[in-house]
Amino acid sequence: MIPPLRIGSNQFGIHLPLSIALILIAVVFGWIQPEKVCAQIGAPIEEDPDKPWLIEADEVGYDQATEQYIARGNVTIRKMDVNLSADYVEFDHKAMRAVAVGDVVMYTGEDILIGNSIDIDLATQTGTIYQGSLFIKESHFYIKGDKLQKTGKDSYAAESATISSCDSLSPAWKITGRKLNVRLEGYGTVRHGMLWARNVPVLYSPFLAFPTKRKRQTGFLPPQFGSSSRNGFFYIQPFFWAINESSDATFFWHHLPDRGEKVGGEYRYILNDGSKGSLMFDFLEDSQIDDGQPENTNQWGFSDIDGIRPNNDRYWFRMKADQSLPYDFSAKLDLDIVSDQDYLVEFETGETGFEWTNAYFEETFGRGLDDFNERIRRNQLNIRKGWDKFDLNATALWYDDVLTRRQSEVDQTLQSLPVINFNGTRQPLLVEPLYFDLDTEYIHYYREDGDTLQRTDLNPRLYLPLRFRNYFSFEPSLGLRETLYYQDRIETPSTDEERFAHREIFDFRADFLTEFFNVFRLDFAGIDRIKHNIRPQVVYSYTPRVDQDDLPAFDDTDRIGEQNSVNYSLTTSLTSRSARQIPEAAKKDPAEEGEGEEVKPEYDYQEFLRLRLDQTYDIKAALDDRPRPFSTVNARLDFIPFRYLSFEGTASFDPYESELVEHNTAMTLSDVRGDRFLLEHRFTKDSSESIYFDGRLKIIDQLFAFGAYEQNLLDNVRIQSSLGGSYTAQCWSFDLRYIDEVTDRRYEFVITLHGLGQFRRGFMGRVVESPLNIL
């Protein structure tokens, strides 16, 4: 092999005209850009006009008769991220045509184009790759065809095409078709497409489409379909609209033959880190109602929900938005308006249902919705301004009582329009060692029918923190409270003087805290130290009795009870220290350390046990000769004896009855393989007792089994159980799940073809005699 030829230089005496050399390289490789060859590329191909193209071959020459450059034998042409290799390459610089023959392999970034030969018209950027295949690394996609045609700058066509994301020569799944068209940054289509599982055809379609784009693009999304005993067969077809770089929308058509046509939409936008929003709306003209007749309530209503549902118009509008405002103000908007009390129960699951919406809002905005079975929905607008030590919040809060709005002429739902809070964090007062904090609130309580109220509440607090060396700390504090009332509207006749009221009250608190600890040396499982910490604490609280019977009563702030009590608690913890395990690759060479420089070891600390006990003694109750001044003894335990085992629990013990009145305990066990098991027991005396278990077991690397079970031990009723499995191969996965609840049984399975998306089938319905019948 001759040494590499540097195009653009006169190396080795081979005089290639510089202009022809540049044209050759530009036209042969200029059209090979990663965003044109593949649907997704991690980074664009690097280009540098100052760097030459390198040609390596056993023989390189120029044919004067045909005016073609010819390279033979182990030909490699490369520049940075582009590399073309073949047995034979020739270039006609006048016709702008390049031909490569024999084991052709072209790398463009991380993507590979392979064929027996390539014939390219460089002027039109079209050509043909014979017996070719295209591998897209980012999406792990293979496209093969007897004849791959480059039909444009970023488009391909193929005859007798095969599509798959499987690496095997005998793929687990593939799609074949007579005619393939692919437009990068768009979609691919296959005519007379057939989906194969190994060598078995499973699905035929005269037309199939699949995404091949890096960017969001307008188009139809995969549909969802299933069956329900309540709603019959259903079909959901979403359509995605990429409006621009900062906003998009999705529209849904939900076909319910037994109920009607449900339509909906979602709009999402993001302007910057502090400004984003999402609004969603669904509407159904329901052909069925719950008018209170037993058969209609049983079939179309919910017997455990208050009220009937006589309306046909059913809808749900929800929105959340965050917005940055001038002068460091910020705003948050939450809207949740539903047509009736049954809607969210009926449409709890699914892509436009409550569970999906609530999870999306939690993930995107950090705040969710009221429970799906809550008929009073909260809507609010909050404007906030923060400083280093102070915080201002103004909130308009509207509670929408669905049942009252639809079916009652009187609405006494209490609204807060607005609530303004100005708070100060704990900070030094002008004269040390005093500290103070501040809580102030103005609220306007409004209702459509009934009394309304304006209230201003000021509550500063003074602290005197004292510390006696390292023995203990003592902190007395005094809270002062001034509350002003004005009743805008009173249903009963009253004078102006009766509309005004005020209240003054104080409270005193004294907090005593000390701490003991000891460090024990040991050598066990890599642990060399354990620190034992004990924190006793006593808090005395006093609030005098103040007559408040003549004051308006709208919430708990209007009735502050007398208090004279002592709360005492004990918190103990164990923290281990172990030398940090540093990977061999990260260890420093001693030669790199400075001479005489001591290398300090690094440690990991783990609090593996924490136990807290507390109880309150009511001095006022004891002085009033009430028989039970002591509260329950409350305990909380967190214990992690090993990395993959943890216990946690809470309990309340009644000292007079000498019994537990409430406890919740849980154990979690996991391992490095990915197995995980959770066992939980919950108990409340004379109220509820249940046990819950869920687990995930790795059978082999590709196969997991999972299940859950919850039992009401008090009534001996199973609450729910589920069982399923998940198998994941290199290019596909399969999930199967059975869920059995008190009022519902569902069978669901999901087949995911990696690179193409999911084919879903779900069976949902109420309890039937033989659940297999709905299959």
The answer to whether the CB of 537 falls within 8 A of the CB of 503 is no
Q: What is the pTM assigned to this prediction?
A: 0.71
For position 580, what pLDDT does the model report?
81
Q: What is the DSSP letter of 405?
A: H
The number of angstroms, rounded, from the C-alpha of 730 to the middle of its chain's C-alpha atoms is 25
CA neighbor of 707 nearest in space, from 717, 698, 718, 697: 697
Extract the tokens encoding 167: 């690496």
Q: What integer pLDDT is reported at residue 41 of this predicted model?
A: 27
Per-residue CA distances from 62 to 1, 12, 104, 173, 436 (Å): 17, 15, 21, 47, 90
614 Cβ contact list (under 8 Å, min separation 6): 567, 568, 569, 570, 633, 634
CA geometry: angle 429, 434, 439, nearest 5 deg? 60
Full DSSP string of 298-364: HHHS-TTSSS-B--SEEEEEEEEEEEE-GGGEEEEEEEEEES-TTHHHHT-SSTTSHHHHHHHHHHH
In sequence order, what E strands does 81-125 have? Answer: 82-92, 97-108, 111-121
The 3-state DSSP composition of the chain as helix, strand, coil percent (nearest 5) reads: 10, 60, 30
State residue 156's pLDDT score. 79
CA separation for the pair 367, 369 (Å, rounded) = 7
Measure the CA–CA gap between 201 and 359, rounded to whole angstroms: 38
Query: What single string gives the DSSP state of each residue in 494-507?
Result: --HHHHEEEEEEEE
Residue numbers in the chain where pLDDT is lower than 70:
1-53, 93, 122-123, 125, 138-139, 153-154, 184-187, 210-217, 222-229, 297-299, 303-304, 493-497, 582-599, 742-744, 749, 755-775
Separation between Cα atoms, residue 162 and residue 145, nearest integer Å: 6
CA atoms 288, 291, 296, 298: torsion sign: positive
pLDDT on residue 545: 94
**Residues 60-93 pLDDT 10s:** 888 888 888 788 999 887 777 777 789 998 877 6
Spatial separation of the C-alpha atoms in residues 98 and 104, rounded to whole Å: 13
Q: SS3 for 594-629, per residue?
A: CCCCCCCCCEEEEEEEEEEEEEEEEHHHHHCCCCCC
pLDDT computed for residue 125 by the predictor: 67
